[in-house]
Amino acid sequence: MYRKNAWKDYSASDVKKVMAFAKDYEVFLSASKTERLAVKESIKLLEKAGFKCACKASSAKPGDKIYFLNKNKNICAFVIGKRPITDGLRILGAHIDSPRLDLKEHPLYERNEIALADTHYYGGIKKYQWVTIPLALHGVVCKKDGSVIDVNIGEDESDPVVGISDLLIHLSADQLTKPAAKVIEGENLDVTLGNMPLKGEDKQPVKANVLKILKDKYNIDEEDLLSAEIEVVPAGKARDYGLDRSMIMGYGHDDRCCAYSSLRAILEMSDCEYTSCCILVDKEEIGSVGATGAHSLFFENVIARLLSLQNDKNPLFNARFAMENSKMLSSDVSAAFDPLYASVSDPNNSAYFANGLVFNKYTGARGKSGSNDANPEYYAFIRKTMDDAKVHWQNAELGKVDQGGGGTIAYILGNYNMNVIDAGIAVHNMHAPMEVISKADLFEAYKGYLAFLKA
Ligand code: MN
Ligand code: MN
């Protein structure tokens, strides 16, 4: 069902289903503030649905449900199909990293009796959006003895929050003449941690007190922060948005809304013709680089390992054929048309809230540069799959020509010569601390992903 408002078509019982699905997602999103936490929550859902860690698998027979974990930040789940894996897979790929601020390796300092933490932002952000809001700290500290300590401050009602200060309006005469990109400088995105000196300490007593709190709570020293991964993210839970509760406001919809709806789709697969796959990757927001990003050899290796579990004599070679014969939805978010900023969009090629799963034939910028640009033959297959399953869907590109642009992981998997198209959920305020999506779109995405895995 192309470009129709889903709410208009829903029966009362449909609306109930959509609301229940959204509620489950809000719980997932609120618990998944980092890629590591998203992986943890995903494993909970997978294991509850009968998926087993590949580390415990000795074979991969049709109907088997297996997941592979990569360095706790990247996960790949499969339901083995009846056809040989070399016939190709049906792949849903989403990313679970989101824009945020990361603590620097040597973050702590004290200035004028305030303890602060230095950060370096991660991904594309409008820096001025990250000041004067409640922030939480999430991550791990890895000690030399091999222990890994989970840090979580700012989510529990009884926890304190942290934050970044901004200049008062009364003294902002100079600041307000700066362009928005310069109003808040990256090096000024430092987090306030405390103001209470440690009694009996002369040298940087406020910082010393913060270190004591960290020592008491987590048994970590300042040097341990060198081998840590602490992410500063908006504090608090995802919530219903709008008086009609038709939308969800929360941190990290990009791209955990597509990750969750993809996961929910594969959880329901059994008895499939082609092997179903859901891969959740890290590092998309900084170019899909590194061991846990989409450019990593992990995915290719995992397909080879699956083939090995089926006693394939030449798994690495055959993994290439499996990839080449695969079909993929790059499940990533799209920009939702915003009537307050209509001028940046082309109305016929924009995504609208509640009009369903968004297909982007291409992304990129300046003449489609960097885009995967899906083949029309494949797009026709997608249209049929969506329409046959009565999924609400729409097309979009990211803004008007030469207005800007963006990329996804689509082209990276496209390099394996597989058919890939971007398919995701429309978002307002993308990359802001609080993003907004439509509950109807979330549900239609799940329906679309499920139809695709079955096609
Ligand atoms: Mn994204
Ligand atoms: Mn993004």
pLDDT tens digits for range 139-158: 999 999 999 999 999 999 99
Residue 129 near residue 103, CB atoms below 8 Å = no
Distance of alpha carbon 97 from its chain centroid, rounded? 4
Q: Is the pLDDT of residue 412 over 90?
A: yes
| Res 236 pLDDT > 90 | yes
Ligand nearest to the CA of 256: 1
| pLDDT at residue 213 in the model | 98
Q: Amino acid identity, residue 82?
A: K
Q: Convert the pLDDT of each residue in 276-313 to its tens digit.
A: 999 999 999 999 999 999 999 999 999 999 999 999 99
CB atoms within 10 A of CB 169: 9
**How much of the chain exceeds pLDDT 70, in percent?**
100
Contact 54, 66 (CB under 8 A): yes
Task: Give the distance (Å) from ligand 2 centre to CA of residue 339.
Answer: 21
**Cα–Cα separations (whole angstroms), residue 400 to 325, 367, 405, 423:** 33, 11, 9, 19
CA atoms within 13 A on the CB side of 439: 25
- Dist. CA 314 → ligand 1 center (Å): 35
Ligand closest to 334 (CA) is: 1
pLDDT at 365: 87
CA distances from 97 to 71, 388, 426 (A): 14, 33, 17
Q: Which residues surround ligand 1, an ion (CB under 5 A)?
A: 254-255, 332
What distance in angstroms lies between residue 127's CA and the mean position of ligand 1's atoms?
Answer: 18
- Residue 141: CB partners within 8 Å, gap ≥ 6? 148, 149, 151, 218, 220, 224, 225, 227, 228, 230
Closest CA relative to residue 362, chosen from 398, 325, 326: 398
Ligand with smallest separation from the Cα of 99:
2
CA gap 336, 425 in Å, rounded: 8
Report, as an integer, the average pLDDT of 92-97: 98
C-alpha–C-alpha distance, residues 24 and 385, integer Å: 26
Range list of β-strands (E), 183-262: 191-194, 228-234, 239-241, 247-250
336's tokens: 């939702």
Contact at 8 Å (CB) between 455 and 326?
no
116 Cα–ligand 2 center, Å: 28
In the reported structure, the alpha carbon of residue 23 is separated from the centroid of ligand 2 by a whole-number distance in angstroms of 23
pLDDT (0 to 100) of residue 370: 87
Q: Ligand 1 centroid to 56 CA: how many Å? A: 32
pTM for the model: 0.97
Which residue did the predictor score with more confidence, 368 or 119?
119
pLDDT at 407: 84
pLDDT value for 364? 83
Task: Tell me which ligand sits closest to the C-alpha of residue 430.
Answer: 2
* Full strand arrangement of the beta sheet holding 435-438: 239-241, 247-250, 435-438, 426-428, 334-335
Mean of pLDDT values over 31-37:
98
Confidence of residue 404 (pLDDT cuts 50, 70, 90): confident
Closest CA to 292 of 97, 142, 125: 97
- 327: nearest Cα among 407, 246, 228, 423: 423
Confidence of residue 416 (pLDDT cuts 50, 70, 90): very high
Ligand closest to Cα of 286 equals: 2
Contacts of range 193-199, beta carbons closer than 8 Å, 24 or more positions apart? 193/108, 193/115, 193/116, 193/117, 193/162, 194/114, 194/115, 195/113, 195/114, 195/115, 197/113
Mean pLDDT of 47-52: 98
Residue 363 pLDDT class (50, 70, 90 cuts): confident
CA–centroid distance, 177 to ligand 2, in Å, is: 29
